[in-house]
Structure 1
């Protein structure tokens, strides 16, 4: 099956953004290896520009937009926080105006960062529908281009660049665990990784309440409309429905078995990572850490010896910790 995003698109994105972003390091932890009885490698996107993987997709989208449209009035996006920060940073880097829409209740640390990168901030009601409608209205009124956080092929290609780096750094990877919200990172990682290494397995890690596995097994969208947020401490992965552009890619390339993580399990994994690995991660990243240490992982095919985990973000409000 062919997809609108290819490894060539990902490689072009990597060439476009590489000089502006960090090539994030890979960490290991013997304690986790001993628990899992496998070799686990953590791609530390929590150490990326703006504190998450999001600048990869945001910058690729904006720079490609400027290549194709020399007179860009500005960009607008809606976000749970990390993507908004990334778009604000990327827009400033590209020298164009930016507006970011966030839902009421977005962590203050992310709101202040968005403002710090020079973007105009608009706060809307806490629902996916309100975010989309507010963003669309601003785009229409100002003539701005929308930079989507996940449901855009340019965003997907940008996110796939982390898989290219990961497999250059650890070519023996047998599987990669990716936290999933709208699916941009999961789709991008899957497209790139499977093109480079067809036998590699990509596993999605979800917050409890997403109910992705039945959708993957049925190969159809079983979620009820209108779209909802999951009730979770991990605001970075609280979108229940996978995007319409990302879903077909995820269905085709990602394993049908999904790792589901509760809030309590994310808290436990956050504390473990802070204390034992000395890495500050947010709850969305902790979902992957818990998944790789879980009984479900221990029951996987033992031939999957080398497991990659994406630490997708590290933007934590230290004055309002989830515990």
Structure 2
């Protein structure tokens, strides 16, 4: 099963955490959550909310390879522009190439008719990646949720 919630409100930390709580209320059997990461604030709230509701849930964060601060920090197990919450509570960081991200954005629009920012499509890229499929942590994940945030996309540019 694959389910998503579109979050267009990047308001407060409380909202960030309640997105995960709402997700788990709607899909209590969710055992993995894919969250895009940038600066770490939104992701921290979502991770805390998810782990508070279900401590066993596996949380994956996804980011572009060209901006892989979280992946570098997680692999070195020290904070290098990485929120300690993410370092301590995120299970795996998955990176993706720009072209994969753009293709996932196009795919999401063509199939589901949902407009998302390319940075939000990275969750879909992550769950379809070999890294996710081959990772021991994700091997047990049957019910995967993907957080999509942001709808600021220029469709003319996207489809060129």
TM-score (norm 2): 0.89
Residue 47 of structure 2 is matched in structure 1 by 190
Assess if the C-alpha contact under 8 Å between 1:178 and 1:185 holds in 2.
no
User: How far apart, in 2, do the equivalents of 1:163 and 1:248 lie?
Assistant: 19
1:321 counterpart = 2:158: yes
RMSD, aligned α-carbons? 1.7
- Displacement after TM superposition at 1:275 (Å): 0.8
User: How far apart, in 2, do the equivalents of 1:286 and 1:175 lie?
Assistant: 17
Deviations 1:235-288 (A, max 9, x none): xxxxxx44xxxx111111111x31101110011101111111111111011111
- Displacement after TM superposition at 1:319 (Å): 4.0
1:279 counterpart = 2:114: yes
With 177-186 and 204-213 compared, the bigger mean Cα shift is at: 204-213
1:201 counterpart = 2:58: yes
Find the residue that maps to 2:150 and give its secondary structure.
coil
- Displacement after TM superposition at 1:209 (Å): 2.2
Residue 236 of structure 1 is matched in structure 2 by none
Assess if the C-alpha contact under 8 Å between 1:178 and 1:203 holds in 2.
yes
Residue 42 of structure 1 is matched in structure 2 by 4
Give the alignment partner of residue 29 of structure 2, picking from 163, 169, 172.
172
User: How far apart, in 2, do the equivalents of 1:322 and 1:262 lie?
Assistant: 17
User: How far apart, in 2, do the equivalents of 1:196 and 1:210 lie?
Assistant: 30
TM-score (norm 1): 0.46
Between structure 1 and structure 2, the one with the greater Rg is 1
Deviations 1:100-153 (A, max 9, x none): xxxxxxxxxxxxxxxxxxxxxxxxxxxxxxxxxxxxxxxxxxxxxxxxxxxxxx
User: How far apart, in 1, do the equivalents of 2:156 and 2:111 lie?
Assistant: 21
Where do residues 235-274 of structure 1 align in structure 2 (5 Å cutoff)?
241-242=81-82, 247-255=83-91, 257-274=92-109
- Displacement after TM superposition at 1:305 (Å): 0.5
Distance of aligned partners of 1:160 and 1:215 in 2 relative to their CA distance in 1, 3 Å threshold: same
Assess if the C-alpha contact under 8 Å between 1:203 and 1:258 holds in 2.
yes
Where do residues 1-323 of structure 1 align in structure 2 (5 Å cutoff)?
39-45=1-7, 52-55=8-11, 57=12, 156-211=13-68, 212-222=70-80, 241-242=81-82, 247-255=83-91, 257-300=92-135, 301-321=138-158, 323=160
Find the residue that maps to 1:209 and give its secondary structure.
helix
Find the residue that maps to 2:153 and give its secondary structure.
coil
User: How far apart, in 2, do the equivalents of 1:182 and 1:262 lie?
Assistant: 18
Deviations 1:30-63 (A, max 9, x none): xxxxxxxxx2111122xxxxxx2313x1xxxxxx
